[in-house]
A and B are shown apart, each in its own frame.
Chain A
Amino acid sequence: MLKVMFQKIWHKRWMVFSLLLGSILLSATVVSFPMYKKAAFDRMLQDEFYNYLTEKGEWPGLLKFTMVSKKDAEGKSIQRMKDLMNSIYKDMGVTERETLAYYSLATAEVKSEMQRDDVGDINIRLSSMTNLPEHAEMLAGEMFSEDGLSDDGCIEVVISQSCMVNTKVLVGESLTFTALKHADGKPIRIKVVGIYDKKESTDFYWQVSPEQMNNVFLMKDNLFEEYFHGANAKKYTITCNYFPMFEYEDCTAKASEKLYAYTTDLVENSVYRSTVDLPGYLEVLENFNKKQDRIEATLFILQIPVLILLCAFLFMIASQMYDMERNEISVLKSRGGSGSQILRLYFYQSVFTTLIGTVLGLQLGKLFCSILGSARNFLEFNLSTELNVEFTEETLQYALVAAMVSILVMTLPALKHSRLTIVKLKQQKAARSKALWEKLFLDVICLGVALYGYYSFSKNQELLAVDVLKGEALDPLLYLSSSLFIVGLGLLFLRLQPYVIRLIYGIGKSFWGPASYASFIENIKNNSKQHFIMLFMILTVALGMYHATVARTILQNAKDNVAYLEGADLIVKEIWTENSALASQAGAGEFQYFEPDYNKYAKLDFVESYTRVIFDEGAYLKGSKNTRQDITLMGIHTKEFGGITHVDSELLEKEYYEYLNELAVEANGVLVSRNFATKLDYKVGDSITFYGSLGKPVHAKIIDFVDYWPGYEPVTTTLNADGSVSSKDNFYLIAHYQVLRKEWGVTPYEVWMSLKDGASADQIAPWLEENDVHLAKYMDKDAEIEKVVQDPLLQGTNGVLTMSFMVTLVLCAAGYLIYWIMSIRSREMIFGVLRASGMHKGEVFHMLINEQIFSGLTSILAGVGIGKLTSKMFVPMIQSAYAAADQVLPMKLITNPMDMVRLYGVVAAVMVVCLAVLILLVFKMNIAKALKLGEE
């Protein structure tokens, strides 16, 4: 049996090769999904943790436990906490970074052993912190010794600077507790040996800072345990704080599941729930899970079409192969070969092909995965981006599913055919009827469903925005609608195309030369045979165009939106000092800001130009009934501002600079956002009085309304806790910087900068250092845009669509070639007859070109048309399903001519290769031999 199989495979090696290709691609596509998911989610989780770290300034992998052990017999409650600390990392599935245990005895009075008049009662807490010497540096004196005891038997302690100030004790001073005794009843004596401070200011060990510990005397940690834990604990009240910290950088997306589950249980159900604070990372993980679900679902939906195409490809090639072998199969059947034997033969062949396909597919999947992870745009990669690609159990599970599907699809045609005997086969060949999809009106059904989806989505487009806020995935029905639309139109084209061909044939019936005539007849009679490959071509081109538009539109709009909201290349605001502390003390002094040196900005050599912008989000208007209306105020230098910022003229009624010019000539004038007119009933020329956040009024005149302005978001939409969505109108008022400065005096401003070509905002770092500048605000446009590009949802989408596109192209090329070669092979006898009747090789060739035009070219053209129409109809909706909640700019449909050039280029290359193969076949064709074939 195996021998027969291998002979068969060798005989049909090209077809088997195509099957193998399909199987490899199927397996690679399927396995790249979990691989990418894992790598991308790991990175995303790290990003989320890191954001938390930078925004909150707190270690993300931190838990806080607080518990008071009150004269607890045997110290059981402390022991329980210690046990927890020992097992918690393992149970959470993370690696330990450091566990800080901070124990404190209740505040107790001490008396100095020195006779001091300057000090009254001192109340202190005797405490300990794990591994203190590693994290502290001594400002004076020394750290407590290894055994924690002084020569005279005192407990050595160290104190912070604030503690020294507060308690006024001195280094070297010994103290005795008045009431607090050792377990054996002896008085507790301590000796201050040093003043400590943090060794590093950013060390997360210092959950309680030295400044806060202004009555805490720290002793050696294990000595504390020896004296006060265990059996001794029953005599003391001990406040126990535990700060287990884990390495968040080692936490993978997969591990986070366990971490999340354990932590929620710990906080909600465990016996420790009353002792633990809600850890900050729980929210990080919740956010992450939500995002992860959204990305996973979205990317999966986007992959469906290419997976279906892959299966269809396998089915098509397998069917072709069985078609060619039909005679053999039927003969085998008629001679008594059992159906199951034949089926088994094909089954083994499928298994064999799939096995090799899966092994190679796993390797190719890695490449696919790195392509996914390095996608910067549609058909654009940065392969230097490292993505940590690895095989996991999940990958193998996916590979297994892909393999099973592959085997099933490849064996399916055999299942159908093995039941036929030669007699039935001949009968079937004779009976020609309409295809099933035509009889079922599948095209009409697909279109109907798609259009229904289209209309219901376009009617409820606001709902899509709400879904985005809620973090929901791309609605599968929306994407399905667009895919069905393409399939439906493709099928409709197949239904109508023969009539057009018939019409053309009919019109020129008497002029057609023999080649055209033969090809018309061939096409009219055998049209349905080509449906599959034609649909394939249509889908390739249409999906390619559609996906290119989807990917480019989503990304470009997101980037444009970020660029718009950022306003300028780089915006910084220094921390301003003012005299409020002084002013309140002195009582009389006027409140005043101190302006930092503005001239130093001239030293930024990578900056092209810069300008001062007063940006006051606390400004307000007083309405006619004295109602307060919050506004955002911008004070600009019109000329400088115009050189640094930009707004697309299509967003505004006039050119952007015209507004700036209007403002420039009217010292008193202000530009206001459109909603001043629509919501607050202002008109051009109206007088308006606005107040800065300090409450000083400015009188001005409205000179124009703007719809868009750098950084201006007309409406902020937010999701409430109860799931409802609320929106808030934002009012913008743009005035002259100089006017505000004159009215208000020195007012804090931001510096907006435009960078020179190729410069990066990072270059500001040495300047900050040199000039000792501390920033309150820092906005780097390129970095924000880069975040968009790297966003796993957008990047994954780009990657998946690009990959689908490439896979579809390969399939289309292979499928088209195979189809044509097989089609010609099967008609060799007819070509022989034609040649014998005196047809030139050129004419045979002409005939084949005609056939290619009828099937290939018309399919491509139909694909282009369908792709364009689908993009126009569905991309806006898909885009809004992706848009960020702060999407401000109207959607722009982005197509890149280069994508189309690439698409057409590949399709043209396929057709050229196909033609070359045809030429070769036709010229090799031997009439006498071809006729002999017919005699068999």
Chain B
Amino acid sequence: MAENNIIVLEDIRRSFPTAAGEFRALKGINAKIPEGSLVILKGRSGSGKTTLLNIIGALDNPTSGKVYLEDRDMGKFSDRRKENFRRTKLGYVFQSVSLIPTMNALQNVEFSLRLAGIRRDREKRAIECLKMVGLGGRIKHMPAEMSGGEQQRVAIARAIAHRPSILLADEPTAELDSAMAAEVTKLFQEMTKKEGVTIIMTTHDVGLMDAGDMVIELEGGEQVNVPKEAAEEE
């Protein structure tokens, strides 16, 4: 079983020094996430979702506890290795639209391929990804010329273009209407199937809960439910 768990979290704690003393954002999170699952990370704002996501994405380090990605202990990675891991194995979709405003849709996607060090067929792959998110006809558009939903889809295309094994999405649907949100979620489901990518998305949209293979709910930095084994569901 263990070799199928692409992400393993062991007693993750994270605290921040504040003026009022130490603020404990995460108080011991444990999880085992199998490859190819769509994980919903839920909770109110301030519950620690984004902090956890940043730690999984190697953007932030836990105060204590261990993160294993593909069986590798992230705590032992140098910053450089972490960055390299990030650009090849991870993909990100942010809550706000995070496209580079000076690049068109195609360039934005191609850029992440460059970052991942991919040299061949970048343009082909980028177009393929944009088609996958349903934007095949708008590849030359600049971010400013697209709607919020379209921009978010470009961001998703960019996040998956270099075939990451893990896709992290922080409230990707927060700024979209419910139809679009459903569309994005559907896209995620398809991608876990088609590309075998593991997706972790945070959301507070209750309507999307059922879409996930696994739900981790946080409240005040603590896990409120025990995650169900995705394998069991299958």
Q: When chains A and B are docked, how far (Å) is the Cα of A837 from the Cα of B168?
A: 11
Tell me whether A639 is interfacial, beta carbon within 8 Å. no
With a cutoff of 8 Å between Cβ atoms, the chain A residues found around residue B119 in the complex are 510
With a cutoff of 8 Å between Cβ atoms, the chain B residues found around residue A526 in the complex are 102
Q: Given A840-B80, A935-B96, are A514 and B107 also a contact pair (CB < 8 Å)?
A: no
Min CB distance B21 to A, Å, is: 21
With a cutoff of 8 Å between Cβ atoms, the chain B residues found around residue A524 in the complex are 102
With a cutoff of 8 Å between Cβ atoms, the chain B residues found around residue A513 in the complex are 114
CB neighbors of B among A491-527 (8 A): 510, 512-514, 517-518, 521-522, 524-526
Contact present for B84 and A514 (CB under 8 Å): no
Q: When chains A and B are docked, how far (Å) is the Cα of A197 from the Cα of B54?
A: 109
With a cutoff of 8 Å between Cβ atoms, the chain A residues found around residue B99 in the complex are 833
Q: When chains A and B are docked, how far (Å) is the Cα of A512 from the Cα of B107?
A: 13
Tell me whether A383 is interfacial, beta carbon within 8 Å. no
Min CB distance A772 to B, Å, is: 88
Binds A, one of B66-74, B85-93, B183-191, B226-234: B85-93
Tell me whether A88 is interfacial, beta carbon within 8 Å. no
Tell me whether B224 is interfacial, beta carbon within 8 Å. no
Contact present for A838 and B87 (CB under 8 Å): yes
With a cutoff of 8 Å between Cβ atoms, the chain A residues found around residue B122 in the complex are 510
Q: When chains A and B are docked, how far (Å) is the Cα of A517 from the Cα of B117?
A: 12
Tell me whether B208 is interfacial, beta carbon within 8 Å. no
Contact present for B111 and A517 (CB under 8 Å): yes
CB closest residue in chain A, given B112 = A837
Tell me whether B59 is interfacial, beta carbon within 8 Å. yes
Min CB distance B165 to A, Å, is: 14
CB closest residue in chain B, given A832 = B98
Q: Given A513-B114, A837-B92, A928-B59, are A525 and B84 also a contact pair (CB < 8 Å)?
A: no
Tell me whether A171 is interfacial, beta carbon within 8 Å. no
With a cutoff of 8 Å between Cβ atoms, the chain A residues found around residue B83 in the complex are 838-840
CB neighbors of A among B82-128 (8 A): 83-84, 86-88, 90, 92, 94-96, 98-103, 107, 111-112, 114-116, 119, 122
Contact present for A935 and B95 (CB under 8 Å): yes
Contact present for B115 and A521 (CB under 8 Å): no
Contact present for B87 and A928 (CB under 8 Å): no
Contact present for A517 and B102 (CB under 8 Å): no
CB closest residue in chain A, given B170 = A931
Q: When chains A and B are docked, how far (Å) is the Cα of A931 from the Cα of B54?
A: 11
CB neighbors of A among B159-207 (8 A): none
With a cutoff of 8 Å between Cβ atoms, the chain A residues found around residue B59 in the complex are 836, 927-928
Of the candidates A514, A521, A522, A931, the one whose C-beta lies within 8 Å of that of B98 is A931
Contact present for B102 and A525 (CB under 8 Å): yes
Contact present for A430 and B144 (CB under 8 Å): yes
Q: Given A512-B114, A928-B59, are A838 and B84 also a contact pair (CB < 8 Å)?
A: yes
With a cutoff of 8 Å between Cβ atoms, the chain B residues found around residue A934 in the complex are 94, 96, 98
With a cutoff of 8 Å between Cβ atoms, the chain A residues found around residue B54 in the complex are 928
CB closest residue in chain A, given B174 = A935
Min CB distance A798 to B, Å, is: 46
Tell me whether A231 is interfacial, beta carbon within 8 Å. no
Contact present for A837 and B96 (CB under 8 Å): no
CB neighbors of B among A718-744 (8 A): none
With a cutoff of 8 Å between Cβ atoms, the chain B residues found around residue A829 in the complex are 98
Interface string of A901-936 (1 = CB under 8 A from B): 000000000000000000000000001100100110
Contact present for B92 and A928 (CB under 8 Å): no
Q: Given A838-B115, A839-B115, A927-B59, are A830 and B101 also a contact pair (CB < 8 Å)?
A: yes
CB neighbors of B among A512-565 (8 A): 512-514, 517-518, 521-522, 524-526
Contact present for A931 and B100 (CB under 8 Å): no
Of the candidates A518, A525, A837, the one whose C-beta lies within 8 Å of that of B87 is A837
Q: When chains A and B are docked, how far (Å) is the Cα of A441 from the Cα of B102?
A: 26
Q: When chains A and B are docked, how far (Å) is the Cα of A521 from the Cα of B100?
A: 10
Min CB distance B80 to A, Å, is: 7
With a cutoff of 8 Å between Cβ atoms, the chain B residues found around residue A517 in the complex are 111, 114
Contact present for B94 and A836 (CB under 8 Å): yes
Q: Given A518-B111, A839-B115, are A833 and B98 also a contact pair (CB < 8 Å)?
A: yes
Interface string of A811-829 (1 = CB under 8 A from B): 0000000000000000001
Question: Interface size on A (CB < 8 Å)?
Answer: 27
Of the candidates A429, A518, A838, A928, the one whose C-beta lies within 8 Å of that of B100 is A518
Contact present for A838 and B90 (CB under 8 Å): yes
Of the candidates B88, B90, B100, the one whose C-beta lies within 8 Å of that of A833 is B100
With a cutoff of 8 Å between Cβ atoms, the chain A residues found around residue B88 in the complex are 838
Q: When chains A and B are docked, how far (Å) is the Cα of A522 from the Cα of B101?
A: 9
Of the candidates A512, A833, A834, the one whose C-beta lies within 8 Å of that of B94 is A833
Q: When chains A and B are docked, how far (Å) is the Cα of A839 from the Cα of B115?
A: 7
With a cutoff of 8 Å between Cβ atoms, the chain B residues found around residue A927 in the complex are 59
With a cutoff of 8 Å between Cβ atoms, the chain B residues found around residue A838 in the complex are 83-84, 86-88, 90, 115-116
CB neighbors of B among A839-857 (8 A): 839-840
Q: When chains A and B are docked, how far (Å) is the Cα of A512 from the Cα of B122?
A: 12
Min CB distance B13 to A, Å, is: 17
Min CB distance A399 to B, Å, is: 45
With a cutoff of 8 Å between Cβ atoms, the chain B residues found around residue A837 in the complex are 86-87, 92, 112, 115, 158
Q: When chains A and B are docked, how far (Å) is the Cα of A521 from the Cα of B122?
A: 16
Q: When chains A and B are docked, how far (Å) is the Cα of A557 from the Cα of B210?
A: 89
Min CB distance A528 to B, Å, is: 12
Min CB distance A755 to B, Å, is: 68
Contact present for A830 and B111 (CB under 8 Å): no
Min CB distance B70 to A, Å, is: 16
With a cutoff of 8 Å between Cβ atoms, the chain A residues found around residue B95 in the complex are 935
CB closest residue in chain A, given B175 = A935
Q: When chains A and B are docked, how far (Å) is the Cα of A518 from the Cα of B112?
A: 11
Q: When chains A and B are docked, how far (Å) is the Cα of A935 from the Cα of B175?
A: 11
With a cutoff of 8 Å between Cβ atoms, the chain B residues found around residue A430 in the complex are 144
CB closest residue in chain B, given A931 = B94
Of the candidates A510, A512, A521, A836, the one whose C-beta lies within 8 Å of that of B103 is A521
Q: When chains A and B are docked, how far (Å) is the Cα of A514 from the Cα of B90?
A: 17
**Which of B84, B87, B95 counts the most chain A CB atoms within 10 A?**
B87
CB neighbors of A among B33-59 (8 A): 54, 57, 59
Q: When chains A and B are docked, how far (Å) is the Cα of A146 from the Cα of B54?
A: 112
With a cutoff of 8 Å between Cβ atoms, the chain B residues found around residue A521 in the complex are 100, 102-103, 107, 111
Contact present for A514 and B111 (CB under 8 Å): yes
CB closest residue in chain B, given A839 = B115
Min CB distance B176 to A, Å, is: 15
Q: When chains A and B are docked, how far (Å) is the Cα of A830 from the Cα of B111?
A: 13
Q: When chains A and B are docked, how far (Å) is the Cα of A839 from the Cα of B86?
A: 9
Min CB distance A530 to B, Å, is: 13
Q: When chains A and B are docked, how far (Å) is the Cα of A623 from the Cα of B54?
A: 105
CB closest residue in chain B, given A516 = B114
Q: When chains A and B are docked, how far (Å) is the Cα of A834 from the Cα of B114?
A: 12
With a cutoff of 8 Å between Cβ atoms, the chain B residues found around residue A830 in the complex are 100-101
CB closest residue in chain A, given B92 = A836
CB neighbors of B among A633-648 (8 A): none
Min CB distance B89 to A, Å, is: 9
Q: When chains A and B are docked, how far (Å) is the Cα of A98 from the Cα of B7?
A: 108
With a cutoff of 8 Å between Cβ atoms, the chain A residues found around residue B107 in the complex are 521
Min CB distance A847 to B, Å, is: 11
CB closest residue in chain A, given B50 = A928
Q: When chains A and B are docked, how far (Å) is the Cα of A510 from the Cα of B60?
A: 32
With a cutoff of 8 Å between Cβ atoms, the chain A residues found around residue B86 in the complex are 837-838
Min CB distance A732 to B, Å, is: 72
With a cutoff of 8 Å between Cβ atoms, the chain A residues found around residue B94 in the complex are 833, 836, 931, 934
Min CB distance A383 to B, Å, is: 51
**Which of A514, A834, A837, A838 counts the most chain B CB atoms within 10 A?**
A838
10 new A-B contacts at CB < 8 Å, known A521-B107, A837-B87: A430-B144, A512-B114, A521-B111, A829-B98, A836-B59, A836-B94, A836-B98, A837-B86, A935-B95, A935-B96
The 5 closest A-B pairs by CB, nearest first: A838-B87, A525-B102, A838-B86, A514-B114, A833-B98
Q: Can you name 16 A-B residue pairings with CB atoms under 8 Å?
A: A514-B115, A517-B114, A518-B111, A521-B111, A522-B102, A830-B100, A833-B94, A833-B99, A836-B94, A837-B86, A837-B115, A837-B158, A838-B83, A838-B90, A838-B116, A840-B80
